[in-house]
Structure 1
Amino acid sequence: MRISSNFDSGAIEVVSVDRADDIRLRLRADQGIEGDGAFRQWFHFRVHGGAGAALRMVFENASEAAYPDGWPGYRCVASYDRRNWFRVSGTHYVDGQLVVEHTPERDSVYYAYFEPYSHERHLDLLGWAEMSPYASVSNLGATVDGRDLDVVTVGRPGPGKQPVWITARQHPGESMAEWFVEGV
């Protein structure tokens, strides 16, 4: 069995994958901030070779997440094709560790904190906004890993108009915010 995360939005630290029923993982800190100020919450990885095996994945440092109070009642998401995602009912937060128990039906399965929003889809959304007569795209600078940091402005400023700011994807784990913005 193999666990990998070397792909768009992939993030996990593998401690041990010796046994399917005792996979040990750690949430990886976001880039740019290490030590006590590290922000960690997001995970997205692929398990290959686990079809039919009762996987038990333990996130050892879940209590160190940016928002550990969000773990109780949380359910990990999984996908076989990276398009259709489902909640994993065997997700539990116990003694500061997030435990995900799942028996995948296929050899290749992806697990994530929330359904990922790919960088390519993000660029497509910016391109779509740029082509609209009602919007413009401006560059504000770059992220800590060198990706463009853009703002989409909808409408035109004028007397009596109040600006409204919608911030999406401030942190890697906030992919649900970008799905929201796409809908807006």
Structure 2
Amino acid sequence: MDKIPNRDPVEPDYPDYQMSLYTVAQDEGFLDYGLDVNIKPEVTKLFKTRAKSNEFTNTLIGLHPKSKGTIRLQSTDPFDPPLIDPHYLENPYDIKVMIAVSTCRMGTVTDPSAVVDPELRVKGILNLRVADASVMRNEPSGNTNAPCIMIGEKAADLILGKDTVVDFRKQIAKLKL
């Protein structure tokens, strides 16, 4: 549990968020009967397809959200499920909390604000890299799909120890353009 930087001084002195790390490698019985956290069936199905892989999930939990949801009756029938609208991230403070730990900013090894080094390795943790939009110091104004693909391709090159840009330049040097 931790606090976000640049907190409003009027906020009570308590942690703002909690990070939890889970392995995805669970057996089907656990996913069917032991995971009572209201996960959509299609997500549980995805977990089952990946249950025997070496993966993990990191979740971020806002501990004191300011957004307030509603629960209303759908009808007078007591067997009808209620209408639930959580209003997630409706309050700007909740968004500020999510942004403050949802980044893995890339930088030099000596940069105290960087979480990953220029080779996408998480500082202080062996054999862990981050390859998504969270490593961008400044997000682009447009769609992040192409930059995320580029980051993933670069991570693959780093892991494999090759430089596809050099290889590509060698291939096109042979072409008569």
TM-score range, shorter chain: under 0.3
Pick the structure with more strand per residue. 1
Higher relative contact order, chain-length normalized (CA < 8 Å, sep 6+): 1
TM-score for both structures, normalised by structure 2: 0.20
Structure (1 or 2) with the greater helix fraction: 2
TM-score (norm: length of structure 1): 0.19
